[in-house]
Amino acid sequence: MLLIKKYRLAKNITLRELSILAGCSYGYLSQLENGKRRNPSWKLTKKIARALRICPITLLGGYCSRFCNPKCYYYKKYFE
């Protein structure tokens, strides 16, 4: 399950704002956030992560910390 709500609230972004930033519908994001839908495409996961300014692997719960490791491919792509 994606950790959308956790990172969205930490960044003080509304679901509506995130939907605009990620180029996704509000309803679909709401369903993902509430666990009613699962397994979004990798492309959409990367769009959501980029809108939140976090690594997509972090969004999937792949790291224990909030920030991506500087050795990660996505760190360089998104943050430098």
Which residue segment(s) compose the domain that 13 sits in? 4-79
In this prediction, residue 75 carries a pLDDT of: 61
Q: In CATH, what number is assigned to the domain containing residue 29?
A: 1.10.260.40
Place of tokens 């839908």: 37
Number of domains the chain contains: 1
Highest-confidence segment of 12-21, 29-38, 41-50? 12-21
Q: How far apart are CA 40 and CA 1, in angstroms?
A: 10
User: Virtual CA dihedral for 42, 44, 39, 8, nearest 10 degrees?
Assistant: 120
Contacts 24+ apart (CB under 8 A), 46-50: 46/74, 47/22, 47/23, 48/2, 48/4, 48/18, 48/22, 48/24, 49/74, 49/78, 50/22, 50/78
26 pLDDT higher than 90: yes
In this prediction, residue 60 carries a pLDDT of: 82
* Closest C-alpha among 57, 77, 79 to residue 3: 57
77 pLDDT higher than 70: no
